[in-house]
Amino acid sequence: MTPEVLRQAAITLFGERGWMSRLSEALGVDRSSVSRWFAGLPVPGPVAAAVEAWLVIYRLTGRRPGEFDELGPAPDPFNDPSGDA
């Protein structure tokens, strides 16, 4: 993932203002780490994977990182009380 692709993804996910701080918070890394990626250090693979997954979730649900907890737990398909499983 290039710095420009990461920047565009972060703006999509976190908005035009404050996206770098929000990105670092969502990733659980120091803001200086994010700054170094934009200064030329390679974006780590797990970071790129997380950002790409967040983009997919955002496109499918309209939810951004930090809003996922509001979804609640996933249903257990093996213990469906309706008997539809």
Q: Reply yes or no on whether the pLDDT at 82 is more than 70.
A: no
Estimate to the nearest angstrom the gap between the alpha carbon of 14 and the chain centroid. 9
Question: 42-59: b or e for each residue (b if 16 or more CB lie within 10 Å)?
Answer: ebeeebbebbeebeebbe
Burial of 25 (0-12, 13-18, 19+ CB in 10 A): middle
User: Per residue in 29-48, pLDDT tens?
Assistant: 999 999 999 898 999 999 99
Backbone angles phi, psi at 67, to 5 degrees: -100, -5
User: Per residue in 46-56, pLDDT tens?
Assistant: 999 999 999 99
